[in-house]
Structure 1
Amino acid sequence: MGITPEIYDLKNLVNPALGVAGVIGGVISGAISAFYGENINMYVALLLIAVVALDWLGAIGAALKDGSYSSDYGIRGVFRTTIIFLLPLIGRLIDVISGIPIIVAGVEISGFYLFISAGLIYHSWMSMTANFARAGYEKWIPNKMLKQVGSEINAKITRSECRREKINGKEIELSSLKPTPTVESLNELVIPSQNNTKIEEKETD
């Protein structure tokens, strides 16, 4: 394979797309470092972001598959994701205010931040697994893990059915529904009324 002069052309290395991507990456990494801290805290934050992003992809795929996706569902997802990212920040602030860090192998770790983030990562991981199973990727998930998230899958299926019925304009009634009258019963109701009118005509005559 020969080396062409185009490889050394700065136009292929410097372009607006790469510049925008670099700026966005720098802003995101700086924000994560400022909000959640550096060292291991940053890696924990990146893991949480990755799991939540995969949970979003699985949820959208499952909702599109069963026909339960709606704008209201997306708005609730954004609200839920915002809370997930704010809770570790609150834990980080508690650690900073209290000034009681945990030292593990010579590395300073925020106690409340790590505790809250670990719980959110576990919950998001379970939700992600259930969503991908509903989206049709259950054959790629170990059976042991599917058993662990069985209750989560059933709960998500129940919620998706409720959303789909709302989308279709149907409502679930807990009370027993009255049977609709058949054609024969309607005819029976019409015939007496016709006989009564004939009797009244004879009486008037």
Structure 2
Amino acid sequence: MQAELIMAAHVAPGALAVAAGAAALAAPKGRWTHVHAGRVFVIAMGLSSAVGAGLGLVRAETFYITFHAGVLALCLLASGWLAARARSGAPGPATGVVAAANLINVVALVVIGVLAARSGQPFRGFPAQDYLVLAGMGATAAAGDITLLWRARLGDRHRTARHLWRMCLGFFIAAGSAFTGPGAAAFSEAVRQSGVLALPELTILLLMLFWLARTLLARLRPEPAS
């Protein structure tokens, strides 16, 4: 019964995070709808990720991977939120703490993935590639963290891009949990087998790439004539 309550506490805010994330992604960037939907997304996704991490420990025999997925999502959300608030582009101490937590999680995922691949057996019900995919996401974030800490400052476009892709990847994880992960149990077997539940994740990735390209490749506006 305890595990079922934890599952409900994981899926419910995850569903809210998906709805709020969709609103934030579709709204004009920087406008009221984007900002407030984004806040709801961060709170709901943060709660869902924290509960998911707890679920991975309580039901380790079947949901252990959600512990690492939850930690990864929390690191992505935290670093994306910090990027939005760091108007100067300079990282603060909190950025280093989040980066360290993410790096530790990545190392654990790589170790588990490699051991599972060598044994040829799933670890806690999940194959090696699932752990390594999460490790790849976390490693991408870790590379960005190291670059930021080394350079000690990001320009506005790169800071916006850092905020954008980390929030979108967190959104991707939320959608995965809601539609192809634990939340898939809410749908019929026919729907689960149809492949339609993978469409939200694909849509999020495509939109993330679109907004990243628009952010990073947009031409700088010309200086107004004096």
Give me the TM-score of the superposition, normalised by structure 2: 0.27
Give me the TM-score of the superposition, normalised by structure 1: 0.30
Instruction: From the CA coordinates, give the structure whose radius of gyration is larger.
Output: 1
Identify the structure with the greater helix proportion: 2
